[in-house]
Amino acid sequence: MSATLRLTEALIARPSVTPDDAGCLDLIAGRLQAMGFVCERLDSGPDEFRVSNLWARLGTGKRPTLVFAGHTDVVPTGPLQAWSSDPFVPSHRDGKLFGRGASDMKTSIAAMVVACEQFVAAQAEPGIDIAFLLTSDEEGPALDGTTVVCDRLKTRGERLDWCIVGEPTSVERTGDMIKNGRRGTLSGKLTVKGVQGHIAYPHLARNPIHLAAPALAELAATEWDQGNAFFPPTSWQISNIHGGTGASNVIPGTVVVDFNFRFSTERTPESLQAQVLDILARHGLSAGADHDITWTLGGRPFLTTPGTLVDAVRAAIREEVGIDTELSTTGGTSDGRFIAQICPQVIELGPPNATIHKVDEHIVVADIEPLTAIYCRTLRHLHAQALQRA
């Protein structure tokens, strides 16, 4: 059994359902400290929802720094009886390792730690600093995790040059896809105001659903942009509509519409908000008098174009597994959106993601060692480049 597999199993065995770390960070910190990392806990949040955060650095902070980032928390298991085995007891069947977090993302964290152990053992004097940024608040609200650590690092002026987030990005086999960016996410809660009344006397009421419908139709049909070479076009989708009292003879007084943008680097949150308000106004819905909107910016888009980090990772993947990896910006959000605010080059690389958040989550054991090797070879590439520049 490989070192990465053993550590993965040890992490899976800790039931770290968000935001509970369940001792994962203590286990990891012990391994990092044995290599010479200086480890710092930056826990945050109220006592009943305390979030565990770890910042660890190997080096003085004066050399180029590669950050390994990830989360120890996992989503709830769902019905235990639906699982073929206990989700927090690592189990092997048919060449696969089963357990909650096997793909998302305890294997990645274990591979990062072991890759660093291998790299440090082979380098008497690394040409780069290595850091870890780990949290137990990625699967939850993400308010007291990576974003808090990034704010602290920014205040202290800590140097970050490259970051690899261990999200499960691969499709068929480890290394076939990496994320070099993510779309931004902007949500809105639109409340359209009407006048409640009897449905048989519509002239005495004002139906907010009827008022909203033309504007919603235009919003749904709008082409917000055409995307670019790295991102698909910005999308706008309704997720919920709530209106009515439950009775069939009452015109409602309000209708509430929840919607979300997934937007590219072609747009800003401010420009999207302004365009929504223009469309509503064009259909006779003025802000304040006829509607209210509450906005929530979940994250701005980020993009890392081919350069030092992307090139090093692509080379490592090619040399270890013989794949010309695909660059992608698809999928949901990740903590990369926070790290990208203080680190110029951020990518995501992890194992296949077919079973993430599912019952019987698992990883093919044969995908584990290549991930460790890719992380380690990336370290060697960045180390060699730093020595050349020195």
- Please list, residue by residue across 220-256, b when 16 or more beta carbons sit within 10 angstroms of its beta carbon and e when fewer do: eeeebbebeebbeebebeeeeeebbeeeeeebbbbbb
- Please list, residue by residue across 136-172, b when 16 or more beta carbons sit within 10 angstroms of its beta carbon and e when fewer do: bbbbbebebbbbbbbeebeeeebbbbbbbbbbbbbee
Q: Are strands 235-243 and 302-303 parallel, antiparallel or unpaired?
A: unpaired
Residues known to be catalytic:
73, 138
Name every residue whose Cβ is closer than 8 Å to that of residue 52 and which is 6 or more positions away in sequence. 19, 21, 24, 25, 41, 43, 72, 135, 136
Tokens of 46: 């109220």
Can you tell me the distance from the alpha carbon of 371 to that of 226, in angstroms, rounded to the nearest whole number?
Answer: 35
Q: 325: closest CA among 377, 259, 382?
A: 377
